[in-house]
Chain A
């Protein structure tokens, strides 16, 4: 046994540091980090400096990263979010998968790949790149727009397609048609079994389990990881792909109220591990493998961007979206996805394709991703430029879908006596009150109430986004942390903000950051005591005043009608 040292000259550490530097540069250039990660492997691996080789730790972490990524994809599969636009989105997604597969196969055949290679390339290149679309649209604050919603919806459908593709790869190389049929049958049967287990668990077992684990900061996370590992391990034992196991594990959690918080807690670990995965792709590659099909990659990238534009635009347009939405929605989807690399890497492992094809896919990703970032970023400007050509496609009677999200609402972070009573005040003037709370003891209460409820900690960006803090009319926060309150206030400069502070210094800081009203418990207690002590010489008045104080402490009359059942702590 030895502690080999985790840093100096270990491949893993070097890989991480290189990935950090490149992703830092990528961030400065507005590029998504995924490009930086893939380049990391190229730069430090045998193709570039040759200072890092794949070792056991890298392999383990990369594998975990892929598992966690699929787990998160599963958790994010909340059909509720796209319910209103599910029909057109489904039609576009299916149409795109079929038509793009045909187009990609044709292009690959023309470029001289064999039929089998062409089919594998088609299988791998049909996705839109989630890291680019979500990241760039998120930065532009366009995820809430109609086209953003549709794009995200399509990505969700593509996740299903990804899982199918993974299942096919999991069959492995077999000879003979009957054997293929048996293998595919076996894979789908076992997937079905795991799926049923996951479904039953999400109905009968997980709600109680997560309810119990939400009581403690670390427990929810550990229980979530344990759940993922159980499925990953089961899939591995059954010789299925671990990714499918992870995906189904996530899917079982997706519809539960704890999913957002769990997802956000797992995201740093996933980001960390997945960086290693993408960086490790090029570690196994030699330079002639990466560049084996270099000119084909350039031609294919250009051809596919053009052809896919017409396919996706046509599909959007056929679903009665207006020209602008169709254009913006289409432009975002035009690049080779990180999933191409995932499928490519797995296909190499399974012996379906040789490294050269993976090099081809990597090159296409490295070409299309950085370019697409810019055309997604400047999509509106490009649209203005091409608008004259598209004008005759304008028509009446286009699809208007209302994005599902909170509007004209008040966000209340932290459920307490104070915020509970403020909610009573607010209900009269806003359409909806949304509670954000991450203490388990209030889950049942808040989930049953008529108000909106998000289980999660407001420190996570996604939780604030889900509550639409930036679009809220009123933001009230009883969060304990000053930095969280400050972020809430800064997220919602337009809103009326009421936040709690513990000290006068914190209060002044929050007020300077833009909080409209800072509640300092100490100051109020002092004022109340002053009023009380004034009456000390007159026992009757004193007693009455104390009685008032006690009544207030006991229940919130007059603002509360049902205070007895709603306040205090329910025993967990």
Chain B
């Protein structure tokens, strides 16, 4: 007991200290856990932790399974699925080839390829889900690509257990895994709600039900000789993430996960031995592949697929890190004794390094994009600002509208009502199709490209309205060299001041606008000047008829 208490105390104290540092600097936590493990590895016997660490994997994958939104992927993720598959296959193949060229064994070369190919959503989601459903194109694309690669991760785990860890190759395991997933879907749709309805929101028992789902499906998976990753994923599929389960079950399991996740990542770090020259060599190769090759290929494929340069580059920059699934695979392989020690070290090291770098590149994605553009990089890939533009030659005194999906609909209606010509600039091919149907004047392309503004006849325009909550985009609009008034959206008071100083004619601060309107309505209600019915009607008018 003393030993394990010492180990856990050391893990959590180290993790807490490093987390505080990470929180101060706004950095992701997982690389810090890995570093904590490397530090702690000198003092503790990590094998004692493997049992607890496995629960970390189980909960991580379980929650990933819960959050899988099949509908969402079907409706708008097709491009992401294609891009993710192309990128992972391509880089995976290159990685395996490079691994063989390094003189690695066949299996080690496969691990090497997997590590180079897959990107992590478990880390990326922490900063991707910040702004809700109205996210810029590149974030939505990134999300579906990450999702695709996580599913690929599950498939890789499955293939490894079918062909490598099984005594004899057992392709029928894919059918078994399919059966388990089908069972999970059946439970989700037929049993889950009946089972939980009778608990009447008791979150303690709900949590146990969730944990038992994990155990049950993992038991099934293990009985079939499959990895626990497959079982935990199926368990997640079996749990419906709707109201009120999202509060009572998912959140509590989420809190539980917070206990086991650090143990997992710290243990992985602790398993690292002193890296030798060989390990460092692999690390450099992996880091290079993940940081350069992955974003490059994604950006290239996206541009070829009709996206503008900015979206392509920004999406590519979210894919420059080693996946958490790679770590699961590596630890499985280490346990099975099928991975070369230096390669394992290299994978852990490159995961820590790339996760940190990824935070930097995501945060400075806008600047990196402009830097690349200034050096002609984007046009090298073939930036397609082309014929998908329709602007009348005599267009003038028009409103240039950016970011249609952030409330642009109502601007269009307003302009139609006022007989004011309006031109939409858009960089999302999916939204663009919709715009084509609704507007007369449009330009497809990247707003950081000067040609787009020429095509939009900026100098003839009456006003530019930018509705994006992205600061970097708003700044691009403000830095345009023109006298045309520009109105941009802000989300905080400080930004309002900064933008007005930077050249904005006006700022739209939705929260402040809402405060005035709702404040007046509430004031009237509380003062007895309007009835509750009138108050409700005022509220309803906002979303039932957006143009009111």
B75 within 8 A of A: no
Contacts of B212 on A, CB cut-off 8 Å?
16-17, 20-21
The stretch from B107-115, B174-182, B214-222, B473-481 touching chain A is: B214-222
Residues 190-246 of B at the A interface (beta carbon under 8 Å): 198-200, 202-205, 207-209, 211-212, 215-216, 218-219, 221-223, 228, 231, 243-244, 246
B169 within 8 A of A: no
Q: Is the CB of B203 within 8 A of A525?
A: no
CB distance from B242 to the nearest CB of A (A): 8
A102 within 8 A of B: no
Q: Is the CB of A7 within 8 A of B47?
A: no
**Interface of B, helix, strand, loop or mixed by DSSP:** helix
Give Cα distance in the complex from A4 to B228, angstroms. Answer: 11
Also in contact, A218 and B508, with CB within 8 A (given A271-B204, A498-B522, A508-B543): no
A351 within 8 A of B: no
Contacts of A28 on B, CB cut-off 8 Å?
198
Nearest A residue (CB) for B494: A568
Nearest B residue (CB) for A264: B255
A268 within 8 A of B: yes
- Residue-by-residue, is B261-282 near A (CB-CB < 8 Å gives 1, otherwise 0)? 0100000000000000000000
Residues 1-15 of A at the B interface (beta carbon under 8 Å): 1-8, 13
The stretch from A196-204, A387-395, A431-439, A482-490 touching chain B is: A482-490
Contact of A517 among B209, B335, B513, B535 (CB under 8 A): B535
- Residue-by-residue, is A190-233 near B (CB-CB < 8 Å gives 1, otherwise 0)? 00000000000000000001001101101101110111011011
- Residue-by-residue, is B455-486 near A (CB-CB < 8 Å gives 1, otherwise 0)? 00000001101010000000000000000010
Give Cα distance in the complex from A230 to B231, angstroms. Answer: 35
| Most chain A CB within a 10 A radius of its CB, from B406, B414, B538 | B414
The stretch from B3-11, B78-86, B283-291, B353-361 touching chain A is: B3-11
**Interface size class for chain A?**
35 or more
Q: Is the CB of A5 within 8 A of B228?
A: yes
Q: Is the CB of A518 within 8 A of B539?
A: yes
Residues 486-512 of B at the A interface (beta carbon under 8 Å): 487, 489-490, 492-494, 496-497, 500, 505-512
- Residue-by-residue, is B390-432 near A (CB-CB < 8 Å gives 1, otherwise 0)? 0000000001000000110111011101101000000000000
A185 within 8 A of B: no
Q: Is the CB of A219 within 8 A of B20?
A: yes
B42 within 8 A of A: no
Give Cα distance in the complex from A312 to B432, angstroms. Answer: 74
Nearest A residue (CB) for B542: A523
**Interface size class for chain B?**
35 or more
Also in contact, A416 and B511, with CB within 8 A (given A223-B20, A233-B9, A268-B255): yes
Contact of A268 among B256, B490, B546 (CB under 8 A): B256
Contacts of B69 on A, CB cut-off 8 Å?
none
| Most chain B CB within a 10 A radius of its CB, from A28, A486, A552 | A552
User: What are 22 A-B interface contacts by the 8 Å CB criterion?
Assistant: A6-B215, A7-B218, A7-B228, A21-B212, A24-B208, A222-B16, A229-B8, A237-B2, A272-B211, A416-B511, A422-B518, A461-B203, A483-B243, A487-B244, A501-B543, A502-B133, A519-B514, A524-B510, A530-B411, A534-B418, A536-B399, A554-B496
- Other CB < 8 Å A-B pairs besides A523-B407, A529-B407, 8 of them? A226-B12, A422-B522, A483-B244, A498-B522, A517-B536, A521-B514, A533-B399, A534-B414
Residues of A near any B CB (own CB < 8 A): 1-8, 13, 16-17, 19-21, 23-24, 26-28, 33, 57, 59-60, 63-64, 209, 212-213, 215-216, 218-219, 221-223, 225-227, 229-230, 232-233, 236-237, 242, 265-269, 271-272, 275, 416-418, 420-422, 424-426, 428-429, 459, 461, 480, 482-484, 486-487, 496, 498, 500-504, 507-508, 511, 515-530, 532-534, 536, 546, 549-550, 552-556, 559, 567-569, 572
